[in-house]
Amino acid sequence: MGRHGWNSAALRWRLTALLGVGAAVLALIVTLVNTLPGGGSTAGTSRDGDKVHGTPATPPDADRPEVGWGFTHTQYSADEGSGTATERVEGLLRTSRLPQDQAIMGWGADNPEPVKGRYDFGALDRRVDFMRASGGTPVITLCCSPDWMKGGTSGVDHTDWSQASLETAPKPDHYADYAALAATVAKRYPDVTHFIVWNEFKGFWNDAERRWDYEGYTELYNLVYKALKKVNPKIMVGGPYLVMDSLDPRDANASRTFKGRWGAMDQRIIDAFDYWNEHKAGADFVVVDGSSYTNDDDLLPDEFGATDKLTAVSEWVREQTHGLPLWWAEYYVEPADGNDDRKGWSESHRVAVQATGMIALARGGATSGFYWNPEKEKGTECAGCLWTPTDGPGGGRQLPMYDLVSRFDAAFGPGARFETVPVAADDVPNVRVLATDKAILVVNTLDRQISAKVDGRTFDMTAYEVKWLMRTPT
Contact 441, 434 (CB under 8 A): yes
pLDDT-based confidence at 332, cuts 50/70/90?
Answer: very high
Q: Round to whole Å and give the CA distance between 409 and 436.
A: 13
Q: What is the mean pLDDT of the chain?
A: 92
Which ranges of 167-282 does DSSP label H, i.e. alpha helix?
175-188, 214-231, 267-279
Give the residue-averaged pLDDT of 389-403.
Answer: 97
Query: What sign does the dihedral 223-227-198-353 (CA atoms) show?
Result: positive
Q: Round to whole Å and give the CA distance between 468 and 407.
A: 9
Q: Is the pLDDT of residue 159 over 50?
A: yes
- Could you give the percent of the chain with pLDDT greater than 90? 89
pLDDT-based confidence at 39, cuts 50/70/90?
Answer: low
Q: CA nearest 244: which of 255, 234, 233, 236?
A: 255
Give the residue-averaged pLDDT of 354-362.
Answer: 98
Q: Is the pLDDT of residue 22 over 60?
A: no
Q: Round to whole Å and give the CA distance between 437 and 285.
A: 27
Encoded amino acid at 466, one letter: V
- Could you give the percent of the chain with pLDDT greater than 70? 92
Q: CA nearest 357: which of 430, 292, 411, 295?
A: 292
Give the residue-averaged pLDDT of 290-301.
Answer: 97
Lowest-confidence region among 36-50, 63-77, 235-249: 36-50
Lowest-confidence region among 21-30, 99-108, 439-448: 21-30
Q: Round to whole Å and give the CA distance between 402 and 407.
A: 8
pLDDT-based confidence at 3, cuts 50/70/90?
Answer: very low
Q: What pLDDT is attached to residue 14?
A: 34
Distances (CA, A) of 256 to 139, 237, 315, 424: 36, 32, 18, 36
Give the residue-averaged pLDDT of 24-37.
Answer: 44
Q: What pLDDT is attached to residue 20?
A: 45
Q: Is the pLDDT of residue 1 over 90?
A: no
Q: Round to whole Å and give the CA distance between 61 and 158.
A: 38
pLDDT-based confidence at 381, cuts 50/70/90?
Answer: confident
Distances (CA, A) of 250 to 204, 313, 377: 26, 19, 42
Q: What pLDDT is attached to residue 380?
A: 86
Report, in angstroms and rounded to the nearest whole number, the Rg of the chain calculated over CA atoms.
Answer: 26
Give the residue-averaged pLDDT of 450-464.
Answer: 98
Q: Round to whole Å and give the CA distance between 196 and 216.
A: 16
Element (H, E) at 11: helix 2-33
How many CB atoms lie under 10 A from the CB of residue 211? 15
Q: What pLDDT is attached to residue 449?
A: 98
Q: Is the pLDDT of residue 392 over 90?
A: yes
CA of residue 333 relative to chain centroid, distance: 16
Give the residue-averaged pLDDT of 327-331.
Answer: 98
Q: What pLDDT is attached to residue 10?
A: 33
Q: What pLDDT is attached to residue 473?
A: 72
Calculate ∠ Cα 13-18-21, nearest 5°: 125
Contact 174, 221 (CB under 8 A): no
Give the residue-averaged pLDDT of 322-346.
Answer: 95
Q: What pLDDT is attached to residue 117?
A: 97
Q: What pLDDT is attached to residue 40?
A: 78
Q: What pLDDT is attached to residue 16?
A: 35
Q: What is the DSSP string of 55-93?
A: -----TTTTSS---EEEE--SS-TTSS-HHHHHHHHHHH
Which ranges of 232-260 does DSSP label H, i.e. alpha helix?
none
Q: Round to whole Å and give the CA distance between 131 and 124.
A: 11
Q: What pLDDT is attached to residue 32?
A: 40
Give the residue-averaged pLDDT of 94-100.
Answer: 97
Contact 104, 139 (CB under 8 A): no
Q: How many helices (H) and strands (E) does the chain have?
A: 10, 18
Encoded amino acid at 52, one letter: V
Q: Is the pLDDT of residue 28 over 60?
A: no
What are φ and ψ of residue 473, in 5° steps? -60, 140
pLDDT-based confidence at 36, cuts 50/70/90?
Answer: low
Q: Is the pLDDT of residue 72 over 80?
A: yes
Q: What pLDDT is attached to residue 56?
A: 96
pLDDT-based confidence at 474, cuts 50/70/90?
Answer: low
State pLDDT tens for residues 251-282: 999 999 999 999 999 999 999 999 999 999 99
